[in-house]
Amino acid sequence: MNEIPAAASPLSPLAQEKDYQDLLRALDPFGVGASLLAVEKAWFAHPLELAAELTRFSGDLVALQLHLWKRTLGMPAEDVAPPHSDDTRFADPAWSKLPFWDTIRQVYLTFTRDAVDMVYSTPDLTDKERRRAAFWAKAIFNAVAPTNFFWSNPVAMQKFVESGGQSLAQGFEQLIKDVRAGDVRMVDTEPFVVGKNIATTPGAVVFRNRLLEVIQYKPLCEKVHEVPVVLVAPWINKFYILDLDPKKSLVRHLLERGFTVFVASWRNPPADLADVRFEDYLTDGVDAIVDTARSITGSPTVHAVGYCLGGTMLSIYMAWLNRRFPKPEEMPIRHWTLLASLQDFSQPGEVEVFLDEGSVAELSRLMARRGYLEGREMETAFRMLRANSLIWHYVVHKYLYGETPPPLDVLYWNTDTTRMPAAMHSYYLRELYINNRLVQPDALTIAGEPIDLGRIVQPLYAVSAEDDHIAPWRATFRVANVVNGPVRYVLSTSGHILGIINPPVQPPKRAYWAGPAGRGDDPGSWKVAGTQMQGSWWPDWIEWLAPRCGPMVAPPPLGSEQRPVLAEAPGSYVLEKWAAGRGRSLMSCPCRRGLRRSSPGRSRRRSTAVSCSRSRRRR
């Protein structure tokens, strides 16, 4: 008879402990149960501290009873647990008008506050473990809020009566549509057509490879600055966040002020690009667009702008270039801009709750099977960071109130997601988020060069947003602590999108702080010492950028003999969508359609374009 190995689990002679751990991870990939169980164990291991917390909680129960009695007797009563300033769930007067609904509101808010506070004060856990457990505790309380259910939401019942039941009927119709779409949709997508009413700035695709199309925009001025501007958009979403409509277009804003603009339009990768590496986005992506802009304009240098993940890659590219061009005067990029971009991932904000060794390993296995990470899955993770405003708000207003979401272009862009190739994304999560190696000198070797951000000496204009939950501004500020060039740091009000897509308007909607930042500077002290200025940071950036981009010259043509026009903007990669979970494209092959638009004399350059898998099979 075979002996049971010593490492076998006592639950079964055939199962190893690792098998049970793998099962738990498959059932709970983000460790929700493990995080909350760790909190429970820690409190039971400290009975005296637990008793003190329960005593404090009993005081809140007494306060709740007094609040209820005062409201019942018609006396004014202060909230035991007032909602946070950004919590609009209970803003309707119906929640405070009658004592019954006010009691439900206060009981929920008090229990939520005390429970989450108790998680944050758990003994013997690290700060990261407390934050992780508190996030999931808040997620559970957000899901069971009385506002989310018809019979505990007075506003929903009032609308039901006033509409004769139509609010629920319309809500049910929207529920069915969302079930079919597999998502709680935030926006009515029907009014938007890319290239028709968004991403409409005239231009042309002047380069295409397997990862990106390069768009060059038509000049809007008779004279332009000699040095072109290259915009490296994030490949997590589509590029047209930089060109939503004429009033909010950063692209058009630059064109109107005499700059030649190139944009990277990244491909929505099919499954057969699973092996594309992180460094391929540098060599075939950022380096390709810089080379294209220099080739067409004849300028030896460009000004490069990187947004979000595009900015992280641009930082790596700058360090990579400084290795290859040790003389500053030989650098293809003499100055650069970062928009809401992380370099130091030691404190990446609330997104850390999704990222530990176990969850990244499980996610990597999932991506290895598929070849990619679905963009919708990443969108859902980011929405969970602001679940009340990005998930439950739409559940309540659509399904309980019967309201149709307004057609907002920013939200449409947010839902127009792209896939992440498996090899690239696994490397990105592990080496940058988990190991934080980007800020460690020479810890990463990318495209043959050790990466050291300290080698970067070119002037930098860095922008972040005060309420950014994806790239927290205190984390992005650390770029000033790692590069060795002069840094002008700008902090805008608002969040990751609206703090950046922030055109000048009258009266001003937002404000910003701006000033030099250097090694050793503390973000809090920098902000306190600065002066808040009303309005958009865009004019401040143009004032910084214009003198660095050279004299005014005649604008270059669209494309060149070496970089011919392949298609009109916004190109074809931005239009490509994939059926969820499949490799089937929902549109015709973008490469072939783009080539059909080019002239017969240019068709012989077909080898410069990478056809999709269907085209390759035909050949």
pLDDT tens profile 542-578 = 999 999 999 999 999 999 999 999 999 999 999 998 7
Give the range among 116-120, 353-357, 508-512 with minimum mean pLDDT. Answer: 353-357
Q: Which residue has the higher pLDDT, 577 or 241?
A: 241
Which pLDDT score is estimated for 17?
Answer: 64
Which pLDDT score is estimated for 329?
Answer: 86
pLDDT digits (tens, 9 = 90+) for 113-161: 999 999 999 999 998 899 999 999 999 999 999 999 999 999 999 999 9
Q: Compute the half-sphere exposure of residue 345: CA atoms within 13 Å on the CB side of its CA.
A: 19
Confidence category of residue 235, pLDDT binned at 50, 70, 90: very high
Confidence category of residue 396, pLDDT binned at 50, 70, 90: very high
Confidence category of residue 402, pLDDT binned at 50, 70, 90: very high
DSSP summary character for residue 238: -
Which pLDDT score is estimated for 328?
Answer: 82
Q: Which residue has the higher pLDDT, 44 or 5?
A: 44
Q: What region does 182 belong to: left with phi over 0, alpha with psi -120 to 50, or beta?
A: left
pLDDT digits (tens, 9 = 90+) for 538-551: 999 999 999 999 99
Residue 327, pLDDT > 90, answer no
Residue pointed to by tokens 């990105």:
428
Residue 594, pLDDT > 60, answer no
Which pLDDT score is estimated for 253?
Answer: 98
140 contacts: CB under 8 Å, gap ≥ 6: none
Strand partners, 303: 229, 335
Q: What region does 606 belong to: left with phi over 0, alpha with psi -120 to 50, or beta?
A: alpha
Structure-block tokens of residue 112: 């939520």
Which pLDDT score is estimated for 326?
Answer: 85
Which pLDDT score is estimated for 73?
Answer: 86
% of the chain with per-residue pLDDT over 70 = 89
Angstrom distance (rounded) from CA 23 to CA 16: 11
Q: Are 329 and 463 in contact (CB under 8 A)?
A: no
Which pLDDT score is estimated for 140?
Answer: 95
pLDDT digits (tens, 9 = 90+) for 456-474: 999 999 999 999 989 999 9
Does an H or E element contain 517, and which?
strand 511-517
* Structural domains present in the chain: 23-148 (no CATH), 171-516+525-578 (3.40.50.1820), 579-618 (no CATH)
Which pLDDT score is estimated for 189?
Answer: 86
Q: Which residue has the higher pLDDT, 307 or 271?
A: 307
Angstrom distance (rounded) from CA 313 to CA 286: 8
Which pLDDT score is estimated for 26?
Answer: 65
Which pLDDT score is estimated for 579?
Answer: 60
Question: What's the mean per-residue pLDDT of the chain?
Answer: 88
Confidence category of residue 85, pLDDT binned at 50, 70, 90: confident
pLDDT digits (tens, 9 = 90+) for 432-443: 999 999 999 999
User: Per-residue pLDDT averaged across 344-357, rounded?
Assistant: 86
Which pLDDT score is estimated for 23?
Answer: 65
Angstrom distance (rounded) from CA 102 to CA 108: 10
Catalytic residues: 308
Does an H or E element contain 210, and which?
none
Q: In a 10 Å sphere around its CB, with 0-12 CB exposed, 13-18 middle and 19+ buried, how is residue 450 labelled?
A: middle
Which pLDDT score is estimated for 380?
Answer: 84
